[in-house]
Amino acid sequence: MKPFSELSQSIFEQATNDYHLTDDVDAPAKNPFDKQNIEYYLYLKSWTDAVQWHLEDMIRDPDIMPEEAISIKRKIDRLNQERTDIVEWIDSYFANQYKDVQVRPDATINTESPAWAIDRLSILMLKIYHWEQEVNRTDTDATHKQVCQEKLSILYAQQKDLSHALDQLLDDIKNGKKHMKVYKQMKMYNDPFLNPVLYKRKHG
């Protein structure tokens, strides 16, 4: 069976390429995978990151109208919540996969869960895609190309290191060397009962 990082990267690349067929932040994701499978959520994670990447570009337009900026900011906020939900689902998937593992007495807890490492890998693949686009541009000079190529080389190294670290983490969890815990993100700003701006408005 192929390493999980390899599976993830192939799906991230597929989703990124699919998004850029239309390059439309409002286009629906045509996820080719079954919702019961981990591949579905990997694809959705990458698609969500691609949409947010381009919204972040759009909101930095110095000539953007305030109303449009507010609309984009709210889309970004919604996507941040969706991203967190997807990451938590992926972590729950791993927790279920390894629930019967006998954890060794000397097992340690990693600073980062598998899904948050996958989150970083998804965004890294998106960075690589866009830096490759910059390297291949035909309307720039040699200096621009060289600077972009140097940064791209660093991203490739980071991709290799992160992929290895992810696979090692999963292997350690599988063998009881690492103890996996799922900590749900306790975000407050989207909750009408926890965000003081929202609940004060509601109760007048």
Q: What is the dihedral of CA 155, 183, 170, 49, to 10 degrees?
A: -30
Q: What is the dihedral of CA 67, 71, 76, 79, to 10 degrees?
A: 180
Do 146 and 33 touch, CB atoms closer than 8 A? Answer: no
Residue bearing tokens 């992810």: 166
Q: Specify which residues 108 forms β-bridges with.
A: 178
Question: 178 in helix, strand or coil?
Answer: strand
The answer on pLDDT for 204 being more than 60 is: no
The answer on pLDDT for 145 being more than 80 is: yes
Indicate the average pLDDT of the chain: 93
DSSP 8-state secondary structure symbol assigned to residue 181:
-
**What percentage of the chain reaches a pLDDT higher than 90?**
85
Q: What is the pLDDT of residues 43-67, one digit of tens each?
A: 999 999 999 999 999 999 999 999 9
How would you class 58 by CB atoms within 10 Å of its CB: exposed for 0-12, middle for 13-18, buried for 19 or more? middle
pLDDT of residue 164: 98
Q: What is the pLDDT of residues 87-143, one digit of tens each?
A: 999 999 999 999 999 999 999 999 899 999 999 999 999 999 999 999 999 999 999
Count of Cβ atoms closer than 10 Å to residue 6 Cβ: 12
Residues 6 or more apart whose Cβ sits within 8 Å of residue 175: 101
Q: What is the pLDDT of residues 5-16, one digit of tens each?
A: 999 999 999 999
In this prediction, residues 13-38 reach a mean pLDDT of: 96
> Per-residue confidence at 203, pLDDT binned at 50, 70, 90?
low
